[in-house]
Copies of this chain bind each other. A is one copy, B any other.
Amino acid sequence: MARDKALYHGHPVAAVAATSVRIAEEACKKIAVDYEVLTPVLSLDQALAKDAPILHERMRASGDEPLPEGPTNLASRREMGRGDVAAGFAAADAVVEREFRTPMVHQGYIEPHAVLARTGEDGRAVVYCCTQGPFMVRAFSAKVLGVATDTIKVVPTEIGGGFGGKTTVYLEPLAILLSRKSGRPVKMVMTREEVFRATGPTSGTHIRVKMGAKRDGTLTAAEAVLVYEAGAFKGSPVGAAMMTVFAPYKLANVRIEGWDVVVNKPKVAAYRAPGAPMAALATETVMDELARKLGQDPIDFRLVNAAHEGVQATYGPKFRAIGFVESLRAAKAHPHYRAPLGANQGRGVACGFWFNAGLSSSANVSINEDGSAVVMSGCPDIGGSRASLALMAAEELGIPVEQVRPVVVDTESIGFNDLTGGSRVTFATGMAVIEAARDVVNQLRARAAKTWEVELDAVAWNEGRAVAVNGAEGKHEPLTLRQLAARAAATGGPISGRASLTARGAGPGFATHLCDVEVDRETGAVKVLRYTAVQDDGRAVHPSYVEGQMQGGVAQGIGWALNEEYVYDARGAMENPGFLDYRVPVASDLPMIDTVIVEVPNPMHPYGVRGVGETPIVPPLAAVANAVERAAGVEIRELPISPPKLLALIEGAR
């Protein structure tokens, strides 16, 4: 917690446990903190200004030269790139360069952070909390408290939204410590205000992007400078922003610079495709202006430059099979793209990319005595992953999905799991479930072989039944899973399978979004008329959950584009820490968001699965901005495109 300085409004300084909230509040009043009010650093400009107040006197900038000497708020500066950017721009027939600013925004999960910790007399703690990563809570809490990992057990509760924001610890170590000191269970629940002020939103940014293209549409060069707020401690997602900013396009000449800057705001946490949406806002707005300058259809222009299998990504590796081109073609073919537009209406196109992650997963599959199955995983379900895991197990076992019960268990009931994040669970935990189910199927075949007194390879598994093959055809009646389960005790014991793996080859996700808006030129209000999200989902195991992910990402992206922002007063206090003043979209703000699932199977997954949860939030900032630009005839350089800001732009253009 805060030591010499409280570094942001909301930085905790002490924790109090009591038998009632009222007593705790009285106790808090008795803690006298003598604050000396310092000048806060609330923006990137303030942080990087000469003679700026310094957050951490001992912090020095790291990374690639040139770097400032001495105390600074620049935590790091890094460069990457390839080719000859100057030559590229020289060869261009059109060049566009723009600067953008986006505010700090919050994930806005509906359920606040909550924890219940109980420490026993043996020093062991059981922690119930809503988290994306129970093993992460265990490891982080153990580290913070200086205890062994296995003295803490974490039971993940059903989660009311996370979006990346529940991938770290805030309350958990405090609750464990208070419970240890008091000898009682300790419950802590944040208020909404505390969620806004004391948990991790995502970075405010300042981004400059310059791109050049030939008359035929071919991109010749691209350059980006990405400056990201880390909050009060270093570590923004600028690295991911650098890797994603130009990832959708074939580019020989590229130069990218990324700055990580500390400011007196909460330390940022992950938020769905961390760092990518703001970078895509810049790239996709510039791409749109380039298309206009070259007189090209925005989708055709992107098709000329779209990455595909075999292309070396701007961030390094060669793409395997990806579905970017397919998403562009599907968007172009969609009726939305031909729908007529009226006065003050405009259509925006934007694309997005996200890596998706693999990481480590464990899964167990066990067969109940009645032939039904349980699928156990250690990854909390934040977007329907239980359903997709059950479907994959049902597919392997050859039984109806209704007979498969998927559950998320605690840290002492399954092997290690990385957290739920990076759109990785259906992909990586899915691979583990498939492997565990195949382990079960092999055991079922062995039981049938034993029963029939044949070799294992004379038994095939077919639609939930062991069938005699390889010369044994017709000699034995097939045995169903239910029959084999009923006889399990007599044929060698219960049947269960397990798998633990680090999944390689998470397939990158690409999306193309279409957005129609109408601008009210009197008020500056923007109404989203139509929205279509097209995305390569590899293989949509549970299509309606996949659509839900796409729709959810779009909803969050529209809020980010139009209304959401952290507002600070001059003294550094957040002025809008509640859902009345921090305006996330509600149902009446949004049209039905149409979705098109494109399926280009990921060759690295047995079923072709690729992550789908994060990509959908990458295009909307740009899709909305491009639509507003076309509807209002203005140039968007700052989010949110809220009524007063847009009205000022419209009036400025008059």
Chain A interface (Cβ within 8 Å of chain B)? 135, 139, 148-150, 153, 359-362, 364, 366-370, 372, 374, 376, 403, 405, 407, 409-410, 412-418, 488-498, 500-503
CB-CB < 8 A to A364: which residues of B? Answer: 364, 414-415, 498
CB-CB < 8 A to A148: which residues of B? Answer: 370, 372
> Which of A416, A418, A492, A495 is the most central at the interface, judged by chain B CB atoms within 10 Å of its CB?
A416
CB-CB < 8 A to A492: which residues of B? Answer: 501-502
A374–B150 CB distance below 8 A: yes
B369–A416 CB distance below 8 A: yes
Residue in B closest to A416 when the chains form the complex, CB atoms: B494
Write 16 A-B pairs (CB below 8 A) sorted by A numbering. A135-B369, A139-B369, A148-B372, A149-B370, A361-B494, A364-B415, A364-B498, A367-B415, A405-B412, A407-B412, A416-B494, A418-B489, A489-B502, A492-B502, A493-B502, A498-B498
Question: Top 3 nearest A-B pairs by Cβ distance?
Answer: A415-B496, A416-B494, A413-B413
B413–A494 CB distance below 8 A: no
Could you tell me the distance between the alpha carbons of A410 and B407 in the complex, rounded to whole angstroms? 11
A360–B493 CB distance below 8 A: yes
Could you tell me the distance between the alpha carbons of A77 and B389 in the complex, rounded to whole angstroms? 53
Contacts A150-B403, A488-B360 given: A412-B376 contact, CB under 8 Å?
yes
CB-CB < 8 A to A414: which residues of B? Answer: 364, 366, 376, 413, 496
Smallest Cβ distance from A404 to chain B, in angstroms? 8
Smallest Cβ distance from A585 to chain B, in angstroms? 28
Residue in B closest to A494 when the chains form the complex, CB atoms: B416
CB-CB < 8 A to A417: which residues of B? Answer: 494
Smallest Cβ distance from A596 to chain B, in angstroms? 31
Interface of A is mostly: mixed
Name the one of B150, B490, B497, B501 contacting A498, with C-beta atoms under 8 angstroms: B497
Smallest Cβ distance from A422 to chain B, in angstroms? 13
Smallest Cβ distance from A561 to chain B, in angstroms? 37
CB-CB < 8 A to A150: which residues of B? Answer: 368, 370, 372, 374, 403, 405
CB-CB < 8 A to A500: which residues of B? Answer: 366, 493-496
CB-CB < 8 A to A374: which residues of B? Answer: 150, 412
B496–A362 CB distance below 8 A: yes
Residue in B closest to A497 when the chains form the complex, CB atoms: B498
A368–B149 CB distance below 8 A: yes
Could you tell me the distance between the alpha carbons of A368 and B410 in the complex, rounded to whole angstroms? 13
Number of copies: 2
Residue in B closest to A431 when the chains form the complex, CB atoms: B493
Could you tell me the distance between the alpha carbons of A139 and B492 in the complex, rounded to whole angstroms? 20
CB-CB < 8 A to A412: which residues of B? Answer: 374, 376, 405, 407, 409
B498–A493 CB distance below 8 A: no
List 12 additional contacts besides A366-B415, A376-B412; criterion CB under 8 Å.
A139-B369, A149-B372, A361-B493, A364-B415, A366-B416, A374-B412, A376-B413, A414-B496, A415-B495, A417-B494, A493-B501, A494-B502
Smallest Cβ distance from A369 to chain B, in angstroms? 6
Residue in B closest to A407 when the chains form the complex, CB atoms: B412
Residue in B closest to A428 when the chains form the complex, CB atoms: B493
Smallest Cβ distance from A486 to chain B, in angstroms? 12
Smallest Cβ distance from A409 to chain B, in angstroms? 4
CB-CB < 8 A to A372: which residues of B? Answer: 148-150
B409–A360 CB distance below 8 A: no
CB-CB < 8 A to A376: which residues of B? Answer: 412-414
Smallest Cβ distance from A501 to chain B, in angstroms? 4
> Which of A409, A410, A488, A494 is the most central at the interface, judged by chain B CB atoms within 10 Å of its CB?
A494
B366–A362 CB distance below 8 A: yes
Residue in B closest to A370 when the chains form the complex, CB atoms: B149
CB-CB < 8 A to A362: which residues of B? Answer: 366, 493-494, 496
Residue in B closest to A403 when the chains form the complex, CB atoms: B150
CB-CB < 8 A to A405: which residues of B? Answer: 150, 412
CB-CB < 8 A to A415: which residues of B? Answer: 364, 366-367, 494-496
Could you tell me the distance between the alpha carbons of A110 and B417 in the complex, rounded to whole angstroms? 39
CB-CB < 8 A to A403: which residues of B? Answer: 150
Name the one of B149, B153, B368, B409 contacting A416, with C-beta atoms under 8 angstroms: B368
Smallest Cβ distance from A148 to chain B, in angstroms? 7
A369–B496 CB distance below 8 A: no
A360–B407 CB distance below 8 A: no
Could you tell me the distance between the alpha carbons of A125 and B372 in the complex, rounded to whole angstroms? 16
> Which of A361, A490, A492, A503 is the most central at the interface, judged by chain B CB atoms within 10 Å of its CB?
A492
Smallest Cβ distance from A494 to chain B, in angstroms? 4
Could you tell me the distance between the alpha carbons of A216 and B175 in the complex, rounded to whole angstroms? 74
A489–B359 CB distance below 8 A: yes
Residue in B closest to A413 when the chains form the complex, CB atoms: B413
CB-CB < 8 A to A495: which residues of B? Answer: 415-416, 500
Contacts A150-B403, A496-B414, A500-B495 given: A489-B360 contact, CB under 8 Å?
yes
Could you tell me the distance between the alpha carbons of A149 and B359 in the complex, rounded to whole angstroms? 34
Could you tell me the distance between the alpha carbons of A637 and B497 in the complex, rounded to whole angstroms? 55
CB-CB < 8 A to A361: which residues of B? Answer: 493-494
Could you tell me the distance between the alpha carbons of A502 and B409 in the complex, rounded to whole angstroms? 25
Residue in B closest to A501 when the chains form the complex, CB atoms: B493
Smallest Cβ distance from A100 to chain B, in angstroms? 36
Residue in B closest to A366 when the chains form the complex, CB atoms: B415
Could you tell me the distance between the alpha carbons of A405 and B153 in the complex, rounded to whole angstroms? 10
Smallest Cβ distance from A311 to chain B, in angstroms? 27
Could you tell me the distance between the alpha carbons of A148 and B369 in the complex, rounded to whole angstroms? 11
Smallest Cβ distance from A451 to chain B, in angstroms? 14
Could you tell me the distance between the alpha carbons of A520 and B7 in the complex, rounded to whole angstroms? 81
Residue in B closest to A139 when the chains form the complex, CB atoms: B369
Could you tell me the distance between the alpha carbons of A491 and B488 in the complex, rounded to whole angstroms? 34
CB-CB < 8 A to A489: which residues of B? Answer: 359-360, 418, 502
> Which of A368, A376, A410, A501 is the most central at the interface, judged by chain B CB atoms within 10 Å of its CB?
A368
Name the one of B153, B366, B416, B503 contacting A367, with C-beta atoms under 8 angstroms: B416
CB-CB < 8 A to A416: which residues of B? Answer: 366-369, 488, 494-496
